[in-house]
Amino acid sequence: MKRLFIALFIALTTLSCNKDGVIRAEGGVPQITLDNPTAVYSVKVGNSITINPTYTYTDENTVYNWSIDGVTVCTDPQFTYKANISGQIYITIEVANTYGTDSEVIRVDVSDIEIPTITLAAPEQISFVVGSLYTFTTSLKQTSLKTDIVWTLNDKVVGDQRSYLFTAQSAGVYILTVTATNSDGKHSDSIEITVLNAEDMPFIWEFESDMLHGVVGREVVIKPTKVSGHQNVDYYWLSLNQPQDSSRENYYKYTPQTTGRHTIKANASTIIGSQTIATSLIFTLDVYEEGQFVRPATNSSASQCNKVYEYTPAPGQFIGDNYTASTPTQACEVALQRMQQGLYISLGGFGGYIVVGFDHSISNGEGYDFAVAGNSFGTSSEPGIVWVMQDENGDGKPNDTWYELAGSETGKEGTVRDYEVTYYRPNGAGMDVLWVDNMGNSGTIDYLPTYHKQEYYYPQWIEADSYTLRGTLIKARNYDKYGNGAMWIQPPYDWGYADNYSSSDRLADGEGSENNAMPNGLDISNAIDHSGKSIKLDFIDFVKVQTACNTKSGWLGENSTEIFAIYSL
């Protein structure tokens, strides 16, 4: 997300703009880089803390001014603060020379006692095969006191770092605990790990639903949401309506040729030890004609979306900022209200999404068919993948098939379809949010309270302590321009994405901001199916926008797609 304001200069220079919109002179305006990128420091009452930034473009004429509540407290490059009472103290550091001024607002949390809080990125229970390797990661709420970390496995000390590589050579139940300890106290988080021999692992083959619907001549993909790791599984699919369309994969691609109800049988069997395990499933597919439930636009139709069906963002610094929502329904209401008021909705980190509908079907015509307005500008694009859905069964709900709109990164190296990220609720306020993906990577959504002080960046209307978001990942392009963390650049992509300062599908001139939406045009003709093949849709009824990158830009935090409006053209 972008924060925009204008810095004043007293000399003419070459100008550039970073993500927060600060206009900087490349040849001389000073730049501040804090020694803590979150700009939040902690200290205990009675102790002191020294804030020691680094500076770019300073000389003998540079003036430093540290102030609290507008009163100057120091004029040196560094500042030592002595904490006398508990609470939050805001300190401003301003650096000026003949070319201009830079400033940062710093928060110091002063507490009477500083007990650490640690979060383990894992569900409460998890299973592995004997000999498996798995790295567990943690998030630690930092204090000003020296903190030690200890991992124990069934009460035996096994590690002292922020992460731990687990493996077990024998079956059994293991209790893994991580404990953070300082002079004021300690906090622990634990997980129960079941380790099984390969032949004892349960056979899992799960699907989201056994009730499906589709359109004549359009491929339907029946794909499991979870499959066990067993080898040598024999799968067999058969359509009772089209017996020639059989398959032996763990998923099924089926193109119905007639309307009506189609029945599909699926079987899976494997041998575990001396026992044969078999699973049989039946799927019901209701098939309709293309255009059977189209809702043509009329003179009274509104271009703007009129309903938010789902608002499930990834964690992020703008989630719950300046609004409250405690249920999914309230979150959808807040999202629609904000867009109607010309305010943005943030989708958070990778996979966060919003689903909207309209009072009419959007026809697939010549050129762009609808637009998504974000707040991109020249040096900051945070692309969102756009998906479309046709109300195939006419029930007015987005429960049909999503089709991705291809963009410039489709099919390129670094683009990953069926990418998944699981986010874990932190154990305490003001903590980073941990994530792990389905490619063995892990990381954090950083807590950055300098501008966004809500206690949690994890959506408060999501009851579960972890949730998984799935979608298409595109390769991040953001980079640190000067190598010192002062200015992060997020270049645009060629075409096909929301919140993207594209030169080809940007429908307005100027720069996006929190008060100025920047629309991108989208073409339904770019729809592709699960296999990446082009698919013809005469119309659509629902649109989903989803954050496409999994990256962060230093002190600016996570890359998050922002949405002001979604409307037909």
* Angle at alpha carbon of residue 373, lines to 367 and 379, rounded to 5°: 105
pTM: 0.85
498-507 pLDDT, tens digit per residue, is 999 999 999 9
- At residue 514, the pLDDT reads 59
Instruction: Give the integer Cα–Cα distance in Å for 158 and 144.
Output: 26
* Dihedral of alpha carbons 436, 442, 447, 448, sign: negative
What is the DSSP annotation of 377-428? BTTB---EEEEEE--TTSSSSS-S-EEEEP-TTTTSTT-EEEEEEEEE--SS
Instruction: Give the integer Cα–Cα distance in Å for 36 and 485.
Output: 11
| 31-33 vs 87-97, strand pairing mode | unpaired
Mean pLDDT, the chain, integer: 90
Q: How confident is the model at residue 19 (pLDDT cuts 50, 70, 90)?
A: very low
- At residue 512, the pLDDT reads 58
* Dihedral of alpha carbons 473, 380, 348, 436, sign: positive
384-413 pLDDT, tens digit per residue, is 999 999 999 999 999 999 999 999 999 999
Q: Which amino acid is at 414?
A: G
- At residue 9, the pLDDT reads 26
Whether 525 shows a pLDDT value over 90: the answer reads yes
Chain centre to alpha carbon of residue 60 = 44
Q: What is the mean pLDDT of residues 168-177?
A: 95
How much of the chain, in percent, has pLDDT values that exceed 90?
75
Q: What is the mean pLDDT of residues 356-382?
A: 96
Q: Three-state SS for 497? A: coil
**What domains are there in the chain, each with its CATH number?**
15-111 (2.60.40.10), 117-199 (2.60.40.10), 202-288 (2.60.40.10), 307-568 (no CATH)
Whether 27 shows a pLDDT value over 80: the answer reads no
299-316 pLDDT, tens digit per residue, is 999 999 999 999 999 999
Q: How confident is the model at residue 98 (pLDDT cuts 50, 70, 90)?
A: confident
Q: What is the mean pLDDT of residues 327-338?
A: 97
Helix/strand/coil (H, E, C) string of 381-392?
Answer: CCCEEEEEECCC
Instruction: Give the integer Cα–Cα distance in Å for 141 and 83.
Output: 20
Q: What is the mean pLDDT of residues 426-434?
A: 92
Whether 511 shows a pLDDT value over 90: the answer reads no
Q: Three-state SS for 544? A: strand
Most distant CA atoms of the chain, gap in Å: 84
229-261 pLDDT, tens digit per residue, is 667 889 999 999 999 989 999 999 999 999 999
